[in-house]
């Protein structure tokens, strides 16, 4: 069996919900996968298990040497995959001829573009920032084109953020874990229960969603928000006096707690502004919702509508107050059984086309062909 070293950009204690099922479980059936996480809190590298290692961040510039010193033999790997960190990718490329492995760069989210979008929202972007971004993209593209494989989350992400990458590309989207499905816990109340999971900030413009909820003529609904910054959410909701009794705010401490909250909802909310940083891939929260067969109201985009069908296995609308309001009113007019049926269809759709088991098999086949 061939061996792959996956160098993440994540701290050992963070949620590894994407890395764990795809790379630790499903891809491991075809390729022996070892995973490197980083730590700010330890002074020495450590083998956490047979296939997991943690390395202090200060060793990033000499990562392969540090792994070799800790009995992780780099010359045994057929592939080295780097997640998001272009500096580590550059280091891995420099050592490629010495060890003869194939190199893979994994792009999951356009972090710098998201940061720029945040600065735009705060009115802090200058022409120099824009020029710097273009130069960095040029340099990153040059490095990625030296790799054997580029592994973006979607074709749209490739086209929007790295259009001049010409090396072999394998699309590796997020998916649903067929062994981590949870039952949809049907509540006895008559109200429809909506759920929003994720970050709230100026860029996501969640006020537009709250504006739509505030215009509804009925109040037979509840909205639960789970976010890492509950104070920000509370201050936002306080601007809508007519909504305070309909909204609950949580800060789920871990993924299991979040999924437990989602399982008690009726409809997931994944409405985001029509910016490339959000509409070039399906948000992970959507997979979390459908893991419990919770149907989702989401932004109409060229990416989402390739996977879902409006009013069949999801609901689409534009990210505009009136359009959101009209779609919410339509959902509120449906019976609970009709809503649950949309969720069941959506879950089946994702299990058919965005199933980690299938994604791993496809990825392994394409890597074997390199």
Domain with CATH 3.40.50.2000 in the chain: 3-175+355-368, 192-353
pLDDT value at position 210? 97
Q: Does the structure show a pLDDT above 80 at 111?
A: no
pLDDT value at position 171? 95
Q: Which of 9-13, 70-74, 161-165 has the lowest mean pLDDT?
A: 9-13
Q: Where are the alpha helices (DSSP H) in the chain?
A: 19, 63-69, 86-94, 96-99, 111-121, 127-144, 155-161, 207-214, 230-237, 255-263, 276-279, 284-291, 321-333, 336-353, 356-368
Q: How far apart are CA 88 and CA 98, in angstroms?
A: 16
pLDDT value at position 12? 60
pLDDT value at position 43? 86
pLDDT value at position 230? 93
Q: pLDDT tens across 136-145, in order?
A: 889 999 999 9
Instruction: Give the model's confidence band at 83: pLDDT under 50 very low, under 70 low, under 90 confident, else very high.
Output: very high
3-class state of residue 195 by DSSP:
strand
pLDDT value at position 224? 96
Residue 47 or 115, more confident? 47
pTM: 0.90
Q: Does the structure show a pLDDT above 60 at 309?
A: yes
pLDDT value at position 121? 58
Q: Does the structure show a pLDDT above 80 at 364?
A: yes
State the chain's mean pLDDT as an integer: 91
3-class state of residue 294 by DSSP:
coil
Residue 74 or 157, more confident? 74
What mean pLDDT is predicted for residues 296-324? 93
Candidates 41, 37, 30, 29; CA nearest to 6 is: 37
What mean pLDDT is predicted for residues 22-47? 92
Q: Does the structure show a pLDDT above 80 at 59?
A: yes
Q: pLDDT tens across 226-279, in order?
A: 999 999 999 999 999 899 899 999 999 888 899 999 999 999 999 999 887 777
State what percent of residues in the chain have pLDDT above 70. 93
Name residue 7's beta-bridge partners.
36, 82
- Residues 196/226, Cβ–Cβ less than 8 Å: yes
Instruction: Give the model's confidence band at 17: pLDDT under 50 very low, under 70 low, under 90 confident, else very high.
Output: low
Q: Does the structure show a pLDDT above 90 at 29?
A: yes
Instruction: Give the model's confidence band at 164: pLDDT under 50 very low, under 70 low, under 90 confident, else very high.
Output: very high
DSSP letters spanning 33-65: EEEEEEESS-SS-EEEETTEEEEEGGGGGGHHH
Q: Does the structure show a pLDDT above 90 at 92?
A: yes
- Residues 12/45, Cβ–Cβ less than 8 Å: no
CATH topology (fold) of 192-353: Rossmann fold (3.40.50)
Query: How many C-beta atoms lie closer than 10 Å to residue 94's C-beta?
Result: 11
What mean pLDDT is predicted for residues 171-193? 89
Which homologous superfamily is 3-175+355-368 in? Glycogen Phosphorylase B; (3.40.50.2000)
pLDDT value at position 335? 94
């Amino acid at each position: 069996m061939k061996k792959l070293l996956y160098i993440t950009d994540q701290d050992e204690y963070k949620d590894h919900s994407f890395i764990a099922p795809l790379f630790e479980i499903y891809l491991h059936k075809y390729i022996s996968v070892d995973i490197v996480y980083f730590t700010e809190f330890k002074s020495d590298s450590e083998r956490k298990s047979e296939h997991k290692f943690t390395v202090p961040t200060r060793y990033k510039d000499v990562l392969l040497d540090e792994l070799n010193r800790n009995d992780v033999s780099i010359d045994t790997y057929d592939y080295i995959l780097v997640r998001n960190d272009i500096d580590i990718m550059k280091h891995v490329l420099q050592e490629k001829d010495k060890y003869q492995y194939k190199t893979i760069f994994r792009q999951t989210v356009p972090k710098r573009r998201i940061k720029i979008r945040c600065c735009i929202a705060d009115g802090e972007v200058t022409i120099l920032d824009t020029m710097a971004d273009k130069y960095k993209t040029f340099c990153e593209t040059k490095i990625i084109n030296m790799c054997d494989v580029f592994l973006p989350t979607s074709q749209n992400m490739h086209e929007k953020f790295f259009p001049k990458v010409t090396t072999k590309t394998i699309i590796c989207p997020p998916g649903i874990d067929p062994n981590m499905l949870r039952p949809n816990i049907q509540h006895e109340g008559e109200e429809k229960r909506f759920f929003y999971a994720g970050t709230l900030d100026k860029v996501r413009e969640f006020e537009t969603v709250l504006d739509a909820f505030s215009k509804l003529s009925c109040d037979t609904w509840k909205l639960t928000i789970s976010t890492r910054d509950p104070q920000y959410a509370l201050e936002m909701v306080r601007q809508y006096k007519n909504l305070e009794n309909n909204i609950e705010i949580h800060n789920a401490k871990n993924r299991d707690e979040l999924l437990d909250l989602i399982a008690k909802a009726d409809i997931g909310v994944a409405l985001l502004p029509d910016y490339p940083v959000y509409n070039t891939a399906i948000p992970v929260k959507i997979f979390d919702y459908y893991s419990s067969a919770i149907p989702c109201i989401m932004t109409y985009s060229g990416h989402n509508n390739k996977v879902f069908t409006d009013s069949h296995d999801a609901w689409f609308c534009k990210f505009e107050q009136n359009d959101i309001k009209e779609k919410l009113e339509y959902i509120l007019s449906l019976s609970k059984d009709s809503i649950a049926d949309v969720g069941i269809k959506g879950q089946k759709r994702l299990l058919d086309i965005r199933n980690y088991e299938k994604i791993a098999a496809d990825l392994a086949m394409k890597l074997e062909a390199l």
